[in-house]
Amino acid sequence: MTDTIYEPETNMKPKKILLHRFIIIGISILTGIVIILFTSSNPDEAIRAFFLTPFSGNYFFGNMLAASIPLIFTGLAASVAFRAGLFNLGIEGQVYFGALIGTITALNLPEMARLPAFLITIISAASAGALLTAFSAFLKIRWGVTELISTLLIGYSMIHVTDFFLEDIFLDQDLGLIGTEKIKEAFLFEKILPPSSLSTAIFLAAVFIMVLYILQKKGKFGLKVRFYAENPKFSKYIGLNCNRIALLTMILSGALAGIAGIVDILGVQERMLRGFSSQYGWNGIAVALISKNNPLWIFPAAFLFAFLEAGATSGSIFADLSPEISRIIQGSIFFLVTAYGLAGFLKERGRNGNTLP
């Protein structure tokens, strides 16, 4: 049994894999430079602001790393589903809903040590995200409803449901914004690169990357997932419980999405604000495509997206790039790197006789 569908580069030499990634990133950066040259009255200053300012000090660099943490988790969430031949397009809603449940849990915890508080809060957020994807998996198993549609619709609906609770039941009337009360300082991740918002949550992300890599490469469940991904009918023929594999995979994907939300709350936001997670889910899908669903490549892919976000902000503040031009540069680069990842993904699916659901 090969593993070509969800790791299409496994038959390529490592140097060639790296070359492909550096080429697409290089083309993306050149695209950004060209746009700046045509739109800025001071291209040198604009290029320096966009590409260098994010690395110019602890504050900018730390914030950029902090922004990559939720993308690591949403990238892992998407890659877990993709690797099994499943699609989780509701990650945005799972992040948002998971953050709400985790925040409510943290706000209602009694005084206790930080570690058990973290565990309870993170488990509650993970459970909320997992519940949404478990329902999609149930619809697929029971009635054959494609998870491509159900996850998208359920996730989108939960964004509005969450906003309702934020605007009414859990609204902090004294805040001046739509959000909850602030979580106790004792229940937040510790900051590690002041004055930036980078916290110890980055170590938790690293742990999840390594655990998922080991499970995929060494664990029995990872092997079953690869069999199921390549040929569900054959997997059922040899005795694998395909429904169980699909259910557990979707639950894991949703749980990771829920964790993405609460980790950002406990590490950066310190309370849940309406719309805080905008684009975490969709960017996580792009991260998974760039990384070819390899957990070890999730971090550099997430860091790239965080860098682009930081560059867009810096270009708007320290140069004459308008926010719109900055977003055009960001969108162009997103398009290139995502198209590259998606093209390889679909090519391998077609080569193995699989089609989109």
Q: Could you write out the three-class secondary structure of 73-141?
A: HHHHHHHHHHHCCCCCCCHHHHHHHHHHHHHHHHHCCCCCCHHHHHHHHHHHHHHHHHHHHHHHHHHHH
Confidence of residue 9 (pLDDT cuts 50, 70, 90): very low
Question: Is it the case that residue 4 has pLDDT exceeding 90?
Answer: no
CA–CA gap between residue 270 and residue 247 (Å, rounded): 32
Residue ranges per structural domain of the chain: 14-351
- Report the pLDDT value the prediction gives residue 257, as an integer from 0 to 100: 97
The DSSP line for 314-354 is HHHHHSS--HHHHHHHHHHHHHHHHHHHHHHHHHHHHHTT-
Whole-number pLDDT of residue 351: 55
Which region among 33-47, 145-159, 336-350 has the lowest average model confidence (pLDDT)? Answer: 336-350
Give the per-residue pLDDT at 13. Answer: 57
Written as one letter, the residue type at 349 is R
Task: Please report the pLDDT score of residue 341 as a whole number.
Answer: 63
Q: Which residues contact 17 (CB under 8 A, 6 or more apart)?
A: 9
Place of tokens 């799972």: 94
CATH class of 14-351: mainly alpha
What confidence score (pLDDT) does residue 157 get? 95
Average pLDDT, stretch 76-82?
95
Q: What is the pLDDT of residue 330?
A: 67
Structure tokens at 45: 């200053």
Which one has a higher pLDDT value, 329 or 259? 259
* Percent of the chain scoring above 70 in pLDDT: 89
Which band of pLDDT confidence, cut at 50, 70 and 90, is reported for residue 190? Answer: very high
Cβ atoms of residues 114 and 34 within 8 Å: no
6 pLDDT exceeds 60? Answer: no
Q: What does the pLDDT read at residue 354? A: 46
Query: Is residue 353 pLDDT above 60, yes or no?
Result: no
Question: What are 138-189's pLDDT values in tens digits?
Answer: 999 999 899 999 999 999 999 999 999 999 899 998 888 899 999 999 999 9
Distance CA 314, CA 46 (A): 9
- Listing DSSP states for 210-264 in one string gives HHHHHHHHTSHHHHHHHHHHH-HHHHHHTT--HHHHHHHHHHHHHHHHHHHHHHH
Q: What phi, psi does 179 have (nearest 5°)? A: -170, 175
302's tokens: 């997430």
- The model's confidence at residue 320, banded by pLDDT at 50, 70 and 90, is confident
In this predicted structure, the answer to whether residue 65 has a pLDDT above a threshold of 60 is yes
Give the whole-angstrom CA distance, residue 330 versus residue 279: 13
pLDDT above 50: residue 238: yes
